[in-house]
Amino acid sequence: MTSRELVAHPHGPRPYAGAAVFGGVIWACGQVPARRDGSVPEEIDEQVRVALDNLEDTLRAAGGSLRTLLKLTVFLADLGEFDAYHQAYLDRFAGIDLPPRTTVQVAGFRGTKRIEIDAVAAVGSEETNRHED
């Protein structure tokens, strides 16, 4: 039987794991657009980029990458921002096969966050085209 491995959050101590790995699959915690210093960008396109950068950090810490994503669920505070979110998403995934994705609107988030990304990925060593800040 394979045991579950909990992976620490890559941005420092949190009251939850950054991801769980079981049977070669990574279950990442929800990724929000908070930078390491706690600040949150104002515009939705930048929030998408930061959330995806955070996701990439979490996947790498767990042994995966954006290229090993199996499924994304994206929660938006306002589906009226879908076009801007979608374009930033496509820009960030340029050159990477897009994983299955579900996007839904939620009632709201804490503070100024307007997006959260839930992800499942495979453990793998494929290289990513990391966007550096």
HSE-CB at 4 with a 13 A cutoff on CA atoms is 5
| Residue 131 forms part of a structural domain | no
| Residue 130 forms part of a structural domain | no
Q: Is the dihedral of CA 1, 70, 116, 50 positive or negative?
A: positive
CATH number at residue 56: 3.30.1330.40
Q: How far apart are CA 48 and CA 99, in angstroms?
A: 16
pLDDT digits (tens, 9 = 90+) for 49-92: 999 999 999 999 999 999 999 999 999 999 999 999 999 999 99
Domain count of the fold of the chain: 1
Strands (E), 10-128: 19-22, 25-28, 69-76, 101-105, 115-122
pLDDT at residue 121 above 70? yes
Residues paired with 23 in a beta bridge: none
Residue-level pLDDT at 133 = 40
Neighbours of 110 (CB within 10 A): 7
